[in-house]
Chains A and B, each alone.
Chain A
Amino acid sequence: MDKPLLEVRNLKTCFYTEDGVVPAIEDVSFSLGKGETIGIVGESGSGKSVTALSVMRLIPYPPGKIECGEIIFKGENLLAKRMDEMRRIRGNDIAMIFQEPMTSLNPVLTVGQQIAEAIQLHQQLGREDARDKAVSMLKSVGIPSPQRRVDDYPHQMSGGMRQRVMIAMALSCNPELLIADEPTTALDVTVQAQILELMMALKDDLGASVMLITHDLGVIAETADRVIVMYAGKVMENAGVKELFRRPAHPYTVGLLGSIPNLDEDRARLQSIDGIVPSPFDMPKGCRFHPRCSLAMDICRNEEPGFVSIADGHDVRCWKYA
């Protein structure tokens, strides 16, 4: 088997706040093969975005700090890299698309300048060439009359257009890994469909791997090859996409799937998960999901479960399967 492009092992990232140390993610491990798309799904506060930012080493320090673990990208541990080495990797080998296209673009620079910046920096192209490349990138993400739009400022574009610009910028240096953090959450469904289609088509052209972070299980089902489900900073389940939707194992995953109304079937009542996500300052003892779990046993309240493999490539962190 080929070596995975990215391998994350036992990653732990903490935030040092005035009220104490908060472990935002703990014991996060997964691997991502070449050309593969991994979906990271979870509710707010589950640690999806912190995982992505940790891989990019973009966790602000202080208050955040990657405590331990390994992030092996193309055989090298990113956590051992110096900051200037990281800067060469970021944007070139690993690129990121953020959720909010309005706040992640610089409002005082034209979109062309912003795309060209990365190209000039990483590809050692001159200004004219970088500009031409920016125009061709805008064209490839489907922006009409790119020659003209390249000189537009972000505020002159709609949300969908801005997200296209973000994609153009992220893909301008042919990255091998693309991290997309809720890339379509702020967009309407018809625009979301356009953007997802575009992203996946370009990903195939480049042969890049994608780490897609979202809370939308529908988006996951349509784009990912493999899924990890996060809850309260930990990975609860890790499975291939078909396996996960066909045989969800963790009670949290089952509850999550039961919570979404489906266009194709009629259900009189949604199966909801009682209670709320625990505060990171007050994590429950034992399994983090046990206060909301209808199947909780005594052991769940006292001891933290480890990963159990229940099928080939299907791991779940639950005492039920231990």
Chain B
Amino acid sequence: MAEALLEVKDLVKHFPTKSKGMFSKRTGVVKAVDGVSFSIKRGETLGLVGESGCGKSTTGRLILRLIEPTSGEVAFDGTDVRGLGKRDLRALRREMQIVFQDPYASLNPRMTVGQIVGEPLDVHGVPNGGGKQQRIQELLDVVGLSAYHAGRYPHEFSGGQRQRIGIARALAVNPKLIVCDEPVSALDVSIQAQVINLLQDLQANLGLTYLFIAHDLSVVKHISDRVAVMYLGGLVELASKEALYRSPMHPYTQALLSAVPVPDPERKKHRILLEGEIPSPINPPSGCRFHPRCPHAQEICSAEDPAFTEVETGHFIACHRSRERAFRCLSPKGRTVAKRLTTSTLA
């Protein structure tokens, strides 16, 4: 088994909320990320999915220490990222880079593409020696842009091309890990496919490791090796992509998958319609965070927070009812089946 490139353990980020006014007081905390653990192997793509506000982007930023974690461990290639001083942290950033969601907001409009892509080279030095200009041309070429684009400004490019510029910037210093934070969600489908293909080619050619954060389950399935599902600050399920999409175990994953519209009018599928909406992370529900919306919730679910346990090799789930065979065999399709099984297990 390959050694893990990134190891995240009990990662926590609480943002204080303040009351308005001059003498603002701390009034509470938003538990954006609340105890997340996972690891990513070398050369692997781990997909991190969840709905808005579940803390997936915050997790990505915590790993790069773009924001400081409240507690927990992040080990990159054996070194604990948390304890690093400024200089060491900068050296580490050469190894891990990020591609942001919004290709309009994440590129400085006053810098040319050459300056944008070249900036990491100024900060970190050109990898393997060589000239800076040559490296910039190389990078633009790799992401499918032309050398003459280096003199242009971001506004002269379309969304897909801007995202390519963002990718070129991330690649500049030869990183090992790239955190892709919703890299394709702002793009049209035909352009989205181009960028996904590019990311896959780069991974194959450069041996990159990705943490791919997205809300689109189809895209995540396409690009990932393993997938982690996040809900309200915590992971609810983590498994290989095959296992997760074929036999999702957590009720939230099941509902999420059943909600995705499938581009096939002849397949009528049963939806598990969740009731209500995601609760506020300021005041998350007690016990299992999903219990108020869970169709299978029992008494224990509102009392105790379920542990994130491995129920099959490589398949982790945070659910009190994970040990029940009947429940685990539930297919995501059958709403009626689900109901029947629940009542019989309760009886």
A interface residue numbers (CB < 8 A to B): 43-44, 158, 160-161, 188-194, 196-197, 215-222, 224, 241-242, 245-246, 255-264, 267, 269-274, 276-277
Annotate B244-277 by CB proximity to A: 1 below 8 A, 0 otherwise.
0100000000011111111111110001011001
Minimum CB–CB distance for A314 against chain B, Å: 14
B interface residue numbers (CB < 8 A to A): 51-52, 158, 160-161, 188-194, 196-197, 200, 215, 217-219, 221-223, 245, 255-267, 271, 273-274, 277-278
Complex Cα distance A261/B266, Å? 18
Total cross-chain contacts (CB, 8 A): 122
Contacts of B215 in A (CB 8 A): 188-189
Complex Cα distance A10/B95, Å? 57
Nearest 9 A/B pairs, CB to CB = A218-B261, A261-B222, A272-B193, A259-B193, A188-B51, A193-B259, A43-B188, A273-B190, A270-B193
Are B188 and A277 in contact, CB atoms less than 8 angstroms apart? Answer: yes
Contacts of B277 in A (CB 8 A): 158, 160-161, 191
Most chain A CB neighbours (cut-off 10 Å) among B161, B189, B218, B274: B189
Contacts of B193 in A (CB 8 A): 258-260, 270-273
- Given A189-B259, A269-B197, do A215 and B188 touch, yes or no (CB 8 Å)? yes
Contacts of A245 in B (CB 8 A): 263-266
Interface SS majority for chain A: helix
Complex Cα distance A246/B259, Å? 22
Are A264 and B262 in contact, CB atoms less than 8 angstroms apart? Answer: yes
Contacts of B265 in A (CB 8 A): 221-222, 224, 241-242, 245
- Given A194-B273, A241-B265, do A189 and B222 touch, yes or no (CB 8 Å)? no
Are A263 and B273 in contact, CB atoms less than 8 angstroms apart? Answer: no
Q: List 29 A-B contacts (CB under 8 A).
A: A43-B188, A44-B188, A160-B277, A189-B215, A190-B259, A192-B259, A193-B273, A194-B274, A197-B273, A218-B260, A218-B263, A220-B263, A221-B263, A222-B262, A242-B265, A245-B263, A245-B266, A256-B189, A259-B192, A260-B263, A262-B218, A263-B218, A263-B221, A263-B257, A267-B222, A270-B222, A271-B193, A272-B191, A276-B161
Complex Cα distance A197/B269, Å? 13
User: Which B residue sits closest to A214, measured CB to CB?
Assistant: B261
Complex Cα distance A259/B256, Å? 22
Contacts of A216 in B (CB 8 A): 261
Among A161, A241, A261, contact of B218 (Cβ-Cβ < 8 Å): A261
Minimum CB–CB distance for A202 against chain B, Å: 15
